[in-house]
Structure 1
Amino acid sequence: MTNFAKAAFGRITDTKPGDVRAEEAANGLVHVVSLILTKTADALIDPKLVLSWLLTALGAPGAMIGALVPVREAGALLPQLALARRVEASPERKRFWAVGSAVQGLAALGIAASALLLSGAWAGGAIVACLAVLAVARSAASVSYKDALARTITKRRRGAITGLAASVASVTVFGVGLLMAAGLFEVAVWPLAAIIAVAGGAFLLASVLFLRLHEPSGDTEGADDDGSLSALVDPILTDAQLRIFVASRAALAVTALAPPFIVMLTAASGRSALNELGPLVMASTAASVLASYVWGRLSDHSSRQTLMLAGALGAVVFAVVGGLGIALGGLGGAFGAAAAIFAAQIAYEGVRAGRKLHLTDMAEDAFRARYTALSNTLIGIALLAGGLFGLAAEQFGPAPVLLVFAVIAALGSALSMGLEEVQQKD
């Protein structure tokens, strides 16, 4: 056990039997470094920013650019229900995560190669196809990660690990954004292709590293059922707490949908959103740096309270921003837009930390992968439906949509009050 691992994760005093407790500090280090690599890579191939700019520069059709975010989000969430049983039957969940990360790395390298070798519709089609492969691989990593985390790290320490990794990754991405904003980094096709290739390498390195996780074998039988679709969806019908969690998470998903509408308000004030891109990226990453670890530690204490507070914060932020948008016709330039993005990102980080830890801690070992897959599949459908807000913004403007988001976030916060304090359970 390294001194760094001891310092970061404390002395292991848990008296539960098994090698996992003795190796928990080393496991924590593997989790943190692996997540730093993959979270950084995720940000470097962000479809909302990097890939959309890349396809525009390559002359890809607008329909392909518009497909980037739906392909990425739906592809990462919708397949998880089909993968859940395979994960439950696996003696080591880490292998699913490692394979998923490796395939994401290869897909990212495919995106980089497509950008360098192709142009126009050919480049757009190849990049969207690679992104679809990456998204499906991400779904395999996502559905298995909570199980791997729960089997290797004890309660009340998991949030610190995921929060620390998110904060460190955000610092890295902030540095890249700062170089771009300062003009020290040329924003062109080949440098972005190189960055995407680096992201691919980070995924591959994380895959190799994660296999060093000390994970106990067992729990391969899962639930006593026939593996049918009805058995897979049965938890949402029989577990009231899961229904409340999915409902609150669906409502709080507006914290992920809001930033593009804030950018639209920036453009509405007569400024080009692209001209303000650097400050907005830095504001978003700065919020992640400051908030991720704090929200993670709070989630270790109570993921329920984290969801309540983050939802309430999101409601206040969206109400203020939407109200200012209506009153001023915009956000008053780069400073106002950056402040709005900063506050919205803090709320989003809270929702993200709270819902991940709550689902990890509420589900039993044999059902965790299934609960994760079922929840993510339902949220994937909700996010697809969330695309209708874009049509509403075209008709009524982004400010009224943000006011609607404020009401929905408040509803999500209220629904979270009905959740149990799962961190207090043995």
Structure 2
Amino acid sequence: MSDTTLDKAYRMLTSEDEGRVCKDIPESACNDQPRNFVTHIASLGATKTADGLIDPKLVLSWLLTQLGAPAVFIGLLVPVRESGALLPQLLTAASLRRLSKRKWAWSVGSAVQGLSAASIALAAIFLKGSAAGLAIVCALGVLALARSVCSVTYKDVLGKTVSKARRGTATGTASSLAAVFVIIFGALLATGAVPRMPVVLAGLLVAAGLWLLAAILFSTLQEEAGATEGGANPLNAALENFGLLAKDAQLRRFIAARGLLISTALAPPFMVALGSEGDTENAFGGLGLLVIASAGASLLSSYVWGRLADRSSRKVLIFSAVAATIALVATLSLNAAGLLSAIWGLPAVIFALMLAYQGVRLGRSTHLVDMATQDTRAAYTALSNTIIGLLLAAGGAFSLIAEYAGVPVVIGVLAAMSALSVLASLGLKEVQESED
């Protein structure tokens, strides 16, 4: 793609007509911004599509069921994937700071995720029962660890290569592009027009290829060398990163708001369980609709959320928390009225929650990058992600609450968490207005 074409695509997506906005990136990186902007969209779009194709909550759970794996392995999928991607970051951030150009760490992480996805596909083809369950969970664990490397380095690279006023647009556009392909995948799973096992296996192999492609694309970024100090001892760095909580009140408030908003990630399986009423076949049909609803919400809202986040990531978090609260309260209301099991009931509230979820993802990412400086960005990212990883691991307790108190109680608690996040987000600063 020529530089002229890249410039046109950049201007079209950012509405930048007069000059280039380079608020907080090195002046030498300003001329490379159009190419870097498009490269971020292509790389992130590929990995987001891959994420949708191997969704542990939906796709891998169904796959292990079909392979006859014991329930214990199915129960490990989401905790391994979510916590494994977040918990290691506090220890790895310091070591990754030794790299002056962190795009290479992201590229290696993406490539390892691709190889892990291919391993999952091979395990599904050649193994059955406990062997398949063990192999797939282990491969998913490796994938999660590689993802943690990508997560802790991505925001830092984004902060050095794309200006403050353009980051949300880049990530939002990538999400929207990925959603188109995930919708097609979800439709095939939900309708059963094609046998599901070949579709799932093909999806895993395509995901592997997309992660490998993203690794190659990301390595072409024009990234300026960054600071490398602070990367000596991982354990000492971890303790120092926790010390940031005592120094920065805004960081504490941001982590509190983000922690409460894990409700948007935890709620969908409980919503599906409440709407399916124990019918296994219908439950998977609901999960298929969840794939479509999630991707559809991403397609319709990610670019808009990203543009809004570039103006005020604080307001995006507030609006998302309000929307999540409304969606969860609506779920309880429809269930009480006997309408959640209607053909439109569950898809409607899932779609509404996923709109909020997309806002949470883009709002939190943009806010964290913009509130931090180039020197603190990696540490803030690792600290925030590690704390959220602990909370997600603790989120397994909601399954016990559902068993003893009922699913409606869990959804009520998650709705309360979303409402409390509104209050926490109101106290955040408008970081897009500050000058670094």
Q: If the length of structure 1 is used for normalisation, what is the TM-score?
A: 0.95
Q: Which residue of 2 aligns with 1:284?
A: 294
- Which of 35, 40, 56 is matched with 1:31 structurally? 40
Moved more, 200-209 or 267-276: 267-276
| 3-state SS, counterpart of residue 265 of structure 2 | helix
Shift of 1:225: 9.5
Residues 389-425 of structure 1: per-residue CA shift (max 9 Å, x gap): 1211222322222222221101001101111111111
Residue 205 (structure 1) aligned with residue 206 (structure 2): no
Q: Which residue of 1 aligns with 2:7?
A: 6
- Which of 260, 264, 288 is matched with 1:255 structurally? 264
Residue 175 (structure 1) aligned with residue 187 (structure 2): no
- Which of 73, 87, 91 is matched with 1:78 structurally? 87
| 3-state SS, counterpart of residue 258 of structure 1 | helix
Distance in 2 between residues matched to 1:84 and 1:102, nearest whole Å: 19
| 3-state SS, counterpart of residue 128 of structure 1 | helix
Q: Which residue of 2 aligns with 1:218?
A: 226
Residues 83-125 of structure 1: per-residue CA shift (max 9 Å, x gap): 1112222100111110110110111111111111111111111
**Aligned partners of 1:322 and 1:400 also within 8 Å:** no
**Aligned partners of 1:111 and 1:130 also within 8 Å:** yes
Q: CA RMSD in A?
A: 1.9
Shift of 1:65: 0.8
- Which of 133, 146, 154 is matched with 2:142 structurally? 133
- Which of 276, 282, 290 is matched with 1:272 structurally? 282
Residues 27-85 of structure 1: per-residue CA shift (max 9 Å, x gap): 01110000111000011111111111111111111101110100001100000001111
Paired residues for 1:239-388 under 5 Å: 239-268=248-277, 272-328=282-338, 331-388=340-397
**Aligned partners of 1:358 and 1:422 also within 8 Å:** yes
Shift of 1:269: 8.4
**Aligned partners of 1:252 and 1:413 also within 8 Å:** no
After superposition, the Cα gap between the structure-2 partners of 1:15 and 1:174, relative to the gap in structure 1 and judged at 3 Å, is closer
**Aligned partners of 1:225 and 1:231 also within 8 Å:** no
Distance in 1 between residues matched to 2:161 and 2:224, nearest whole Å: 8
Give the aligned residue type for 2:229: E
**Aligned partners of 2:94 and 2:231 also within 8 Å:** no
- Which of 386, 400, 410 is matched with 1:401 structurally? 410
Distance in 1 between residues matched to 2:45 and 2:271, nearest whole Å: 28
Shift of 1:326: 2.8
Q: If the length of structure 2 is used for normalisation, what is the TM-score?
A: 0.93
**Stretches (4+) displaced over 6 A:** 223-226
Shift of 1:224: 10
| 3-state SS, counterpart of residue 344 of structure 2 | helix
Residue 20 (structure 1) aligned with residue 29 (structure 2): yes
Distance in 2 between residues matched to 1:158 and 1:101, nearest whole Å: 20
Residues 261-293 of structure 1: per-residue CA shift (max 9 Å, x gap): 110111128682123333332222111111111
Moved more, 172-181 or 9-18: 9-18
Distance in 2 between residues matched to 1:293 and 1:121, nearest whole Å: 42
Distance in 1 between residues matched to 2:176 and 2:10, nearest whole Å: 16
Distance in 2 between residues matched to 1:319 and 1:400, nearest whole Å: 11
Distance in 1 between residues matched to 2:334 and 2:78, nearest whole Å: 28
Give the aligned residue type for 1:13: R
Q: Which residue of 2 aligns with 1:106?
A: 115
Distance in 2 between residues matched to 1:359 and 1:389, nearest whole Å: 28
**Aligned partners of 1:288 and 1:346 also within 8 Å:** yes
After superposition, the Cα gap between the structure-2 partners of 1:87 and 1:397, relative to the gap in structure 1 and judged at 3 Å, is same
**Aligned partners of 2:109 and 2:146 also within 8 Å:** yes
- Which of 150, 162, 174 is matched with 2:171 structurally? 162
**Aligned partners of 1:108 and 1:197 also within 8 Å:** yes
Residue 116 (structure 1) aligned with residue 125 (structure 2): yes
Distance in 2 between residues matched to 1:174 and 1:15, nearest whole Å: 35
**Aligned partners of 2:169 and 2:307 also within 8 Å:** yes
Give the aligned residue type for 2:68: G
After superposition, the Cα gap between the structure-2 partners of 1:138 and 1:225, relative to the gap in structure 1 and judged at 3 Å, is closer
| 3-state SS, counterpart of residue 428 of structure 2 | coil
